Amino acid sequence: MDTNTARSWLTFSAPVEAALRTGKPVVALESTIIAHGMPYPDNVRTARDVEATIRGLGAEPATIALIDGRIRIGLSDDELELIARSDKVHKVSRRDLPAVLASGELGATTVAGTMICAALAGIEVFVTGGIGGVHRGASETFDISADLQELAKTSVAVVCAGAKSILDIGLTLEYLETHGVPVLSCEQDNFAAFYTRDSGFRADFRLDDPNEQARFIRTKWDLGLAGGVLLSTPVPQAAAMPSDEIDAWTEHALADAAAQGITGKAVTPFLLGRIKALTDGRSLATNVALIRHNAEVGARLALALAQTRRAAA
């Protein structure tokens, strides 16, 4: 890949460009959570809150989206509103990037899409809500999120509240292991499960301190071991949902999706919306709390990674 040609598709906001030029830590943020993960105005309010959280800890947020045939690295308030309010925003993963850029239409980047764009921009840390993974029933449908392949090949550290509980988390972790993706956990030994704190599956390594996390990640990349690192941190206890309740709602939502013939990349937005309805909005409050907490963990990691880079210079 010609990196210079690929970077020619990027347009940086002034604050992000200045941060990258001066070595200030930058944290990438996806836009699918804005366009497809939450209703308006909760989506734009949460996006601004998350950006403010990252700035308050000394890093610069870079929300990523596709607008007018360009990959925007960092969005203005007006651009955030555009993504949050528009009726037609494409969900953009690796396969969708060329089509949406070529058409000039609006695109919201998924975990995979954001990782690609962050790596092109030279951003090492990306904060999301929960990653995609192996869907339940994948042995028959082969429905496996492109997020997992991207984690195997693209060298970005991804901070999340585990995998979405609508997935088969055990198989998701098996897939990551097979493809050599280290799964770190902080604040607890086990991998998180999005709405609930504990998936019941252990992470590969527990590292609570951001400096330890940064040393692990820098060591991996210094060894030439390409690919991402996944850092799981649980939703704050006060906002967590009971696992038995969320499991029951998830089964209900999955049955609704099957009955309506919803498949592919439309499944996750449908399930999140259906669970929000079934929980009378409680799941949305949990989603907001976990993404804010992830932003705090990600900003501290970005600061620590920047220190390791300066120390090696």
> Catalytic one among 79, 124, 164, 265?
164
CA angle 202, 204, 206 (to 5 degrees): 85
User: Known catalytic residue: 124?
Assistant: no
CATH number 3.30.1950.10 is the correct assignment for the domain at 3-237+292-312: no
**Residue 238 CB coordination number (10 Å):** 7
* Three-state secondary-structure class, residue 255: helix
- Answer yes or no: are the C-beta atoms of 176 and 204 closer than 8 Å: no
Q: How confident is the model over 13-68, as pLDDT tens digits?
A: 999 999 999 999 999 999 999 999 898 999 999 999 999 999 999 999 999 999 99
Nearest Cα residue to 199 out of 180, 172, 217: 172
- Answer yes or no: are the C-beta atoms of 291 and 50 closer than 8 Å: yes
> Catalytic one among 17, 30, 81, 124?
30
User: Known catalytic residue: 30?
Assistant: yes
Q: And the tokens for 80?
A: 């955030």
Nearest Cα residue to 25 out of 129, 131, 116, 157: 157
pLDDT of residue 1: 57
Q: Is the dihedral of CA 66, 116, 43, 272 positive or negative?
A: positive
- Where is average pLDDT lowest: 62-76, 139-153, 175-189, 262-276? 262-276
pLDDT mean across residues, the chain: 93
- The reported pTM is 0.93
- Decide if pLDDT at 109 tops 80: yes
